Amino acid sequence: MPIDVIRRNADAALLPSPRYGGPPYGRGARAEGESWRRAFAGDPREAGAARGFVRFLLEGFPRRDDVVQVVAEFVANALQHTASGAPGGAYVVEVCRWGDAVTVAVSDEGGESEPSPLPYARSADELREGGRGLLTVAATASEWGWYGNARGRTFTALFHG
């Protein structure tokens, strides 16, 4: 069940520079457009609602399916690897749309391990079903990154139409 929804005009500096992939928005970048933010309970059953939220907002955006896939990866990581997936946990999805570009962000409640987009070394791990989500993000988004620490992180991705 959604915790809250916020809709506002976006005429402000965009998200801070992420750790991987460089600053996708440029330092002090500004954009005219709109942004929406919605919090979700840290329950795996809410993941579909998060994807639907993004899908609805990006009607007509040429790369909508790519954006939804990346949000799905960010949400799955938040639920599996952070306190957001614990009982009482939550995460926030933000969508910013302007011109021919979209940014998405998923903020979680942090966790012990540090995110890594690096592939596994050649071994039995190659056959694992999971562990490649951030590689998918890197291959899909125009640019992406993350910032934060064990108390909370935000993953961001930029898409050009």
* Per-domain residue ranges of the chain: 2-160
| Element containing residue 106 per DSSP (H, E) | strand 101-108
CA dist 107 and 50 (Å) reads 12
CATH of domain 2-160: 3.30.565.10
pLDDT of 79 > 60? The answer is yes
Mean pLDDT, range 129-147, rounded to an integer: 84
pLDDT tens readout for residues 20-63: 333 344 434 445 688 999 999 999 999 999 999 999 999 999 99
Structure tokens at 45: 């059953």
Output the average pLDDT for the chain: 79
What are the residues whose beta carbons fall under 8 Å from the beta carbon of 58, sequence distance 6 or more?
64, 67, 68, 95, 97, 102
pLDDT of 2 > 80? The answer is no
Most confident of 30-34, 112-116, 125-129: 112-116
pLDDT score recorded for residue 131: 61
